[in-house]
Copies of this chain bind each other. A is one copy, B any other.
Amino acid sequence: MPSDWIDLDARMLRGWALPEIAQEADKEVRGRVLVVAGSREIPGAALLAAVAALRAGAGKLVIATAQTVAAQLAFAVPEARVIALPETAQGSFAMQGLALLEGTAQGSDAALIGPGLMDEAGTCEFVGALLPLLAHVPVILDALAMNVAKDHAGFGQPLLLTPHAGEMAHLLGRGKDLVLGDPHAAVTEAARQWHAVVALKGSTTLIATPAGGRWCHDHGRPGLATSGSGDVLAGLVAGLAAQQVPLEQACAWGVVLHALASKRLARAHGPLGYLARELAGEVPLLVKRLQGRRVSPRKQPRE
């Protein structure tokens, strides 16, 4: 590992605390998160990401998803408001759905776009038009939604991209072998090129910012290499970002929490075979352990 990459682990996060939440905080303080995710073929990704956002501590949750699956998603995440977006024949969101998101987008404290979307071309068009509605909101782009970067010289808003090596190769227009051969260079280049925080996911995950921040987490576990795992990670990051955590810190915390959650599941059940849906439930306890004082004391304690 190049020496200027900061190693991410639990100890490191203890010195990089999340902002305290006031004892008197309401939902607004804990933040509103918008999750734009889930298509007719991969609707469960929206469920995984949205629950993870709540587990990470977001206060209010709105999900925008494909209308063919919206009602069912709403019962899978009964805490959510679910906006049903019209779909194209190919399964992406139709452009007329944008109007349904205007108010919610502007009132959000963070947005996650991408888990479980389908149809690259249609998704790129939709996401490209959605981003301006989120101009002042930290945005996490995941999965197919990242491809919007290919049409962008660089983003003018706070943005996080979360590719794995194959997706990074596709974004940079080069072979996956080249990315794997020098992942530090690839993630650094991507961060600079798109003026975005970029996390290159894998058993080793690298995070780079356009300003030169560099973190490395090499405690990944094979049990995390399971369907839906990335959706949970994206949701955790979005939930933290909604609480005013800067994107690079939200990403670093998300990556470590995700890995620690998998460590707990591996100990309880075995190294392989736990499910992505089980990860987020471990997170509240992990946050508490990493940061004993997440909630600031009431001014006049009563109880």
Contact = CB atoms under 8 A, between A and B. Distances in A.
Contact of A41 (B47, B61, B82, B164): B82
B76 A75 contact: yes
| Most B Cβ at <10 Å: residue of A26, A42, A222 | A222
A249 interface: no
A108 to B, nearest CB: 13
A260 to B, nearest CB: 10
Contact of A24 (B21, B68, B203, B275): B203
Interface stretch (A123-131, A152-160, A207-215, A264-272): A264-272
A43 to B, nearest CB: 5
Interface in A14-61: 21-27, 29-30, 40-45, 47-48, 51, 54-57, 59-61
A81 B272 contact: no
A274 interface: yes
A44 B80 contact: yes
Contacts of A285: 269-270
A22 B163 CA distance: 21
A226 interface: yes
Contacts of A234: none
B42 A277 contact: no
Contact of A284 (B202, B222, B272): B272
Contacts of A70: 40
For this complex, into which size category does the number of interface residues on chain A fall? 35 or more
A112 B29 CA distance: 28
A90 interface: no
B47 A75 contact: yes
Contact of A222 (B9, B23, B69): B23
Contact of A272 (B51, B80, B204, B295): B295
Interface in A247-303: 269-277, 283-288, 294-295, 302-303
B80 A26 contact: no
Contacts of A59: 225-227
Contacts of A68: 71
Contacts of A88: none
Contact of A43 (B21, B75, B202, B229): B75
Interface in A62-84: 68-84
Interface of A: 9, 21-27, 29-30, 40-45, 47-48, 51, 54-57, 59-61, 68-84, 164, 202-204, 218-222, 225-229, 269-277, 283-288, 294-295, 302-303
